[in-house]
Amino acid sequence: MHATLPLPHLLLALAVVAVWGTNFVVIRLALDELPPLLFATLRFTFAVLPAVFFLRRPDVPWRHLAAYGVLIGAGQFGLLYIAMNGHISPGLASLVVQVQVFFTIGIAMWGTGERLRPFQWTALALALAGIGVIAMHTDASTTLTGLLLVLLAALSWACGNIVARSAQGANMLAYVVWGSVFSVPPLLALSLAFEGPQAIADGLRGASAGAWAAVLWQSAGNTLFGYAAWAWLLARHPAATVSPMALLVPVFGMAASAAWLGEGLPAWKLAAAALVLAGLSLNVFWTRWRRPVPAA
């Protein structure tokens, strides 16, 4: 998977997926002090400021930036933060949201009229079996509502991926920052409507240094460092070499949640993770496994 990456680049890729995976624990801890929609608003506010003043706007239509910002901001992270506010454990959230891969493939194929290939049907069946195992074991820490919210967040992420595909060749860090400009208004409006001015004021007034550090980690570490480093790696290595590293995100997420928050890892949860990861891996690696070996 990463044999062709030089060691420093491999370590950088591992650092990125470790940040993205352990970030689910950071989210859960901050939600003890900040309402979820306010938290998401702050995350994207600090992703915009001050970076927007130092990065040239990418040469893409404003409507694409707006669509991306709304889908990723209000859609993906707004729903994810609500789900993680007592409706699903961080480890399972980090796993379930990865089904965005299948949503992305499905939307892209629907747009082009392509049909799923047999290995993709198998990969999808494995992932759905894993989601089914989770749905059969809902409890106080992982509810059916939380599972559905994370699936909707994954769908929003997939739609954002489709929008971003039209920006090929653009500086993706700049694209994310400028897209985030359009994430803030709907998140703030939703926070005002559903959480209320009083909850917002109480959250801002009562947030500890740890909560503010979590906000900055979301914007600077998860968004700016993560996207910049990932784009830097993709500019220097084939996507087929770099992208499979993202399969480690739920591994880091579940391990961090178990280690820091005491999230249990019973057999059913490990089985669900194995099924989802098997489906993701099959989708990523099948064409490489089936590629004929050239004659000597």
Looking at the chain, the whole-number percentage of residues with pLDDT higher than 70 is: 95
pLDDT digits (tens, 9 = 90+) for 5-27: 788 999 999 999 999 999 999 99
Phi and psi for 177 in degrees, rounded to 5? Answer: -65, -50
Residue 280: which of 91, 104, 133, 26 has the closest Cα? 104
In the predicted structure, residue 195 carries a pLDDT above the cut 60: yes
Q: How many Cβ atoms sit within 10 Å of the Cβ of residue 94? A: 30
Among 10-14, 225-229, 272-276, whose mean pLDDT is lowest? 225-229
* pLDDT higher than 50, residue 219: yes
- Which SS3 state, helix, strand or coil, does residue 141 take? coil
Report CA torsion sign: 78, 81, 85, 86.
positive
Task: State the DSSP code for 294.
Answer: P
- Hey, how many other C-beta atoms are within 10 angstroms of the C-beta on 55? 16
Which amino acid appears at position 232 of this protein? W
DSSP state of 247: G
User: Using an 8 Å Cβ cutoff, are 276 and 130 in contact?
Assistant: yes
72-99: average pLDDT: 95
**pLDDT bracket for residue 296 (50, 70, 90):** very low
What's the whole-number mean pLDDT along residues 169-181? Answer: 90
**DSSP count for the chain of H helices, then E strands:** 16, 0
Asked whether the beta carbons of 250 and 93 are under 8 A apart, the reply is: no
- Provide the 3-class DSSP secondary structure of residue 113: coil
The pLDDT of residue 2 is above 50: no
pTM: 0.89
Question: CA-CA distance, 258 to 271, in Å (whole number)?
Answer: 16
Least confident of 154-163, 266-275, 280-289: 280-289
pLDDT for the residue numbered 293: 47
Residues whose CB is less than 8 angstroms from the CB of residue 61 and which lie 6 or more positions away in sequence, other chains included: none
Structure-derived torsion over alpha carbons of residues 21, 24, 30, 36, reported in degrees to the nearest 10:
130
> Which of 170, 194, 175 has the alpha carbon at shortest distance from 40?
194
